[in-house]
């Protein structure tokens, strides 16, 4: 059992998603209940309010191991929070898309117009991430609808 925000026992399982030979790491948490996920989400970023109705969210790891320009100096760039109550391909792919954008901004340090070469790099990472997250969930016994 992991400890969630405010030191209470949290009902989630945590996984680390990373690519061998690359310096990029993403955490993935799957909560039993959306309510617990929302509470922990709020503790990670106070822009989210507990009464907000969401069942999945991505948080970039703002302020953690960043240089003066706000770029990460560590490989950890974000965390995806999912709920077993709404574990759908739509929710998973939506959060993976947010993570792919954060990866491009924070790991690749790309801020600009997406033209062919940038779109392809972005699309390849998104594809890899979505497949890896779905494989991780399946291996852990989760069914994504």
pLDDT tens readout for residues 7-52: 555 589 999 998 877 778 888 999 999 888 888 887 776 666 656 6
Instruction: Report pLDDT for 71.
Output: 58
What are the φ and ψ backbone dihedral angles of 118, each rounded to 5 degrees? -75, -40
pLDDT band at 117; cut points 50, 70, 90? confident
**Mean pLDDT taken over the chain:** 80
Q: Considering the chain, what percentage of its residues have pLDDT values greater than 90?
A: 36
CA distances from 100 to 50, 103, 111, 115, 142 (A): 26, 5, 13, 16, 22
Could you identify the residue written with the tokens 């739509």? 90
Name the range with the highest mean pLDDT among 26-35, 63-72, 112-121, 136-145. Answer: 136-145
**pLDDT given for residue 128 in this prediction:** 95
Q: Among candidates 28, 24, 29, 26, which has minimal Cα distance to 11?
A: 29
Residue-wise burial string across 76-101, b where 16 or more C-beta atoms lie within 10 A, e elsewhere: bbbbbbbbbeebeeebbeebbebbbb
Delimit the domains of the chain by residue range.
Answer: 2-139
- Angle at CA of residue 56, ends 45 and 63, nearest 5°: 25
| pLDDT value for 73 | 58
């Amino acid at each position: 059992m992991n400890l969630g925000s405010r030191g209470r026992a949290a009902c989630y399982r945590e996984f680390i998603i990373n690519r061998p030979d690359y310096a990029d790491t993403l955490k993935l948490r799957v909560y039993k209940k959306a309510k617990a996920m929302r509470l922990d989400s709020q503790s990670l970023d106070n822009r989210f309010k507990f009464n907000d109705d969401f069942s999945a969210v991505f948080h970039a790891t703002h302020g953690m191991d960043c240089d003066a320009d706000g770029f990460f100096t560590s490989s950890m760039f974000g965390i995806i929070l999912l709920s077993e109550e709404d574990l759908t391909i739509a929710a998973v792919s939506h959060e993976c898309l947010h993570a792919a954008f954060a990866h491009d901004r924070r790991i690749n340090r790309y801020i600009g117009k997406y033209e062919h070469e940038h779109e392809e790099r972005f699309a390849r990472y998104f594809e890899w991430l979505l497949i890896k997250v779905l494989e991780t969930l399946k291996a852990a016994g989760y069914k994504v609808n």
